[in-house]
Amino acid sequence: MKQKETMLNTMGINGLSASLEDLGDEHVGTSFETPLRDDAFKMDDELKVELIEKHFKEIMHILGLDLSDDSLKGTPHRVAKMYVKEVFAGLNPKNKPEPKLFENKYKYKEMLVEKDITFFSHCEHHFVPISGKAHVAYISNGNVIGLSKINRIVQYFSKRPQVQERLTMQIGNELKEVLGTEDVAVIMDAYHMCVSSRGINDTNSSTVTSFYSGKFESDEQSRNEFLKYLSLKK
């Protein structure tokens, strides 16, 4: 009986492992919000860096790397600092941009398009880079935003482990809330290192995701106008 239970338990664990592997390889997300624990920010950044450094040093040791080598001895600290203060800084709400709005005194009623915003993120399934371009448009509802602030919003949500579909939606919804308008569009075109450097090893394909709200969703002419601007030659 015990042997049978052990076999069943093993099958369950193996089945779960295979299921989780499939989830990662298929790049499937499970939630709109970035999955975070309730106590995610009770620990200060310096302690996070210290602990990540310790654990990354152990990973390097397990891989067989010689941490006494001058080229490697500082790597655990560099990686830890990079994770907390740079590439995953968008996890911490204290780093969220606070865009200032300005009254649309010149009564500009057409769409504003900010195209080719470079962004870098990381796939939450393998922690390898995602890089690409974001294209954003909105139609003012009485207020406008500084152009650089659009870039900062894109960067903020990019700097966390992500799924591209979620990233696109988070940027779109944040712009709707900040600008006080439903008329927002976002298109993201990105290369995923988890596709090009492992697994299928396809270095040519890119992934395109979109978010349309308000007029961009209901009015085909507005949506086509936005897409036309993206095809303009520089």
Q: Which of 27, 126, 135, 155 is catalytic?
A: 126
Angle between helix 147-158 and helix 164-179 axes, rounded to 10 deg = 140
Q: Which of 27, 53, 155, 194 is catalytic?
A: 194
Whether 217 is catalytic is: no
Q: Which of 27, 53, 122, 123 is catalytic?
A: 123
Whether 61 is catalytic is: no
Residues 179, 138: Cα–Cα separation, whole Å: 9
Q: Which of 125, 135, 162, 170 is catalytic?
A: 125
Whether 170 is catalytic is: no
Whether 155 is catalytic is: no
Q: Which of 162, 164, 170, 174 is catalytic?
A: 164
Q: Which of 27, 53, 122, 124 is catalytic?
A: 124
Active site residue ranges: 123-126, 164, 192, 194
